[in-house]
Structure 1
């Protein structure tokens, strides 16, 4: 292997040896070619051991040969053309293409070629620093393939570092949340929280992740436009070889439609098909809930039981279709008059129950009277005036819900027996 040409301007007596040793031990491959005086072709006049390792040739096999021996079918002719143009003009060149080793295997090489000129500016040689970038390019290709695959999936994917700062989100995440990738880079995903989950939910989630547990759970999050969506989310931990958490990978499936449909079906199961009020089963649950609160917290509650007066005669005279219409009209009045949170119940037939949580007897009596007057003020073009009889009772300490309901029903019976269209109270 020949020695490197040493610049004439150096004043250090050991510089030549230092330069020779540095290039010989360099990680990157280095070759020096002449200026192409022989038939316009360039000949290798120096190559370091790294270049020999990269190409599979010995220095003896390379010296005096043209670098063209490394070219093959996949070597990019456009890159070679640009290389020749730069060398002809004595300019620096940088590029990459496919070269071939002595055994015929291909590799991706990245070149940086600089002309070496004498004191008069005449090019004397070219120095090429090269690097086998095959592994790097393949890794980049795999990374690009992974990114394309993640962007192709319909599930939202988020990758965060160990500080829970977002490193990557796919297109499905952008479409689901309305946030662009550039907007969320470096942020903590908590900006998605809608506030509909209690703080304990997130505390338990963080504790589970800190213990190294992957999590499958349901989130109720908020999009950029403020709308709520429901997400079935899997959070997986990525650990290094020592078991230290390095990244979090979240895969989210939008289940908003499923959740809304489930809620709708559940709501339908609790609603009376004709009036839209709570059905008896749901009313019984509401009653038991109020009763437990009364027992545990001492908060009283009251009941109003209302019945449409002479409903059978309405059906007999005008038909069941008009009777159903009166039931719906009565339900509308009840829904309009009750307090927020005190939903009326279709208890059965033409009978309605209102469960009034945290309510005293006098307040329940006042409400019943307002309901009675509102219903009596309704004037139907077909049926005319329809009225309600109402019974009212308030819970007494130690009393069961069944006993309270029985007293309310007895009060209603008195209201009907005393002439209807009135409120009777059970004291």
Structure 2
């Protein structure tokens, strides 16, 4: 029968359709319906020619990864004369597999009998691959031991991973829709955040160590990189932040710095760090003429304590004297273990008379405390005040001379440098 114009248009539409189309007969007995028509899109998708497909069954496209449950569901729908939607894996002529979505409809004659099936198919391979890659990336972000935070262009949090939840104590639902400001600890000033946003607005990543506050109020250190994320037009749409928790490393560094600057027995600054403090105050006194005094102190008869009671008791005495010095000096002063049983007290912005009065108060305060084994321990004190042109060495020597004078005077007393 000659095709009408509408028939020709319909055939052309199917032939030229973007989606793959295949028409089969309705014989459901094995080996199943046979292919009567395919369009070019179907041939392109499968790699077969029209001549290779006509007369065959769609089983020619099945293989090891074709889902048998989907095939069984398809057969049941066809037998029931129902519309079928499903997807599975099929195989091209060259043996490569592809993911396909089927939309299969029965075709009925005037009496309602099913005479054919038409299947409109879509190749989902690229979509499945893209979804797989997205899932792979999402799983990688979730499994990452470093914190990952994604915000939108305005800084509103749209995603956090499990490491973020574990480190901060915040659940995902607690922070989505909020900003990272909930982690602010107060350790960073406005200039820090201005530099952050200036860098990000320029399209560059920002790297810094953040001191953040967890939900329970504890602080943690995060070595963090914040990177702008652009869309296909080059516009910044999101910011991705990745952060490594370095709190343990920071604590170790602080411990090492403390060990390098603090005398472990007394808890006071050690000689090395004390010389840096002395240099700082000496420099300020020379530049600003604010007054600066030092007090040299020495435990009386310390050798006898060690000889009579042992070095263990001697260490206890040193430790106790260090604690008392910290308690008795002013907050602005620095008590230093200068060496052995000798201590140095830096007294900034103070002239000789006030420094001597401070030394007397410290001497009396220490004398009021008794060690359970040794009894009362006394100290001798020598005080010197900075004079214009003094080097640190000269200033220390005058304080040491005053200390020697205090010992010559019978110990447990305060003397000042004779030429101050």
> Who is 2:123 aligned against?
132
Aligned partner of 1:232 among 202, 223, 227? 223
Q: Deviations for 1:355-389, whole angstroms, at most 9, x for unmatched residues?
A: 23455666544543332222111122322211122
**Deviation of 1:132 (Å):** 0.7
User: SS at the partner of 2:136?
Assistant: helix
**TM-score, normalising length: structure 2:** 0.80
**Deviation of 1:329 (Å):** 1.7
| Number of residue pairs matched by the alignment | 417
For residues 55 and 247 of structure 1, the distance between their equivalents in structure 2, rounded to whole angstroms, comes to: 40
Aligned partner of 1:203 among 166, 190, 194? 194
Aligned partner of 1:266 among 235, 252, 257? 257
Aligned partner of 1:83 among 64, 67, 74? 74
User: SS at the partner of 1:382?
Assistant: coil
C-alpha spacing 1:37/1:86, structure 2 compared with 1 (3 Å):
closer
> Who is 2:59 aligned against?
68
Q: Does 1:252 align with 2:243?
A: yes
> Who is 2:320 aligned against?
329
For residues 244 and 377 of structure 1, the distance between their equivalents in structure 2, rounded to whole angstroms, comes to: 73
Q: Does 1:282 align with 2:273?
A: yes
User: SS at the partner of 2:259?
Assistant: helix
Could you tell which deviates more after superposition, 297-306 or 239-248?
Answer: 239-248
User: SS at the partner of 1:82?
Assistant: helix
**TM-score, normalising length: structure 1:** 0.79
Q: Does 1:93 align with 2:78?
A: no
Q: Does 1:349 align with 2:345?
A: no
> Who is 1:304 aligned against?
295
How is 1:20-169 mapped onto 2 (pairs within 5 angstroms)?
A: 23-33=14-24, 35-36=26-27, 41-44=32-35, 47-59=38-50, 62=53, 65-115=56-106, 126-158=117-149, 168-169=159-160
Aligned partner of 1:379 among 362, 367, 370? 370
**Deviation of 1:108 (Å):** 0.9
For residues 398 and 266 of structure 1, the distance between their equivalents in structure 2, rounded to whole angstroms, comes to: 33
For residues 103 and 352 of structure 2, the distance between their equivalents in structure 1, rounded to whole angstroms, comes to: 93
RMSD: 4.0
**Can you give the 5+ residue segments of structure 2 that lack an aligned partner in the other structure?**
none
User: SS at the partner of 1:325?
Assistant: helix
C-alpha spacing 1:52/1:370, structure 2 compared with 1 (3 Å):
same
For residues 409 and 191 of structure 2, the distance between their equivalents in structure 1, rounded to whole angstroms, comes to: 55
For residues 189 and 14 of structure 1, the distance between their equivalents in structure 2, rounded to whole angstroms, comes to: 65
Q: Deviations for 1:75-108, whole angstroms, at most 9, x for unmatched residues?
A: 2111111112223334343221111234443211
User: SS at the partner of 1:30?
Assistant: strand
C-alpha spacing 1:314/1:68, structure 2 compared with 1 (3 Å):
closer
Aligned partner of 1:178 among 166, 169, 187? 169
2:28/2:79 contact within 8 Å kept: no
> Who is 1:10 aligned against?
none
For residues 366 and 121 of structure 1, the distance between their equivalents in structure 2, rounded to whole angstroms, comes to: 116
**Deviation of 1:279 (Å):** 1.0
**Deviation of 1:245 (Å):** 5.6
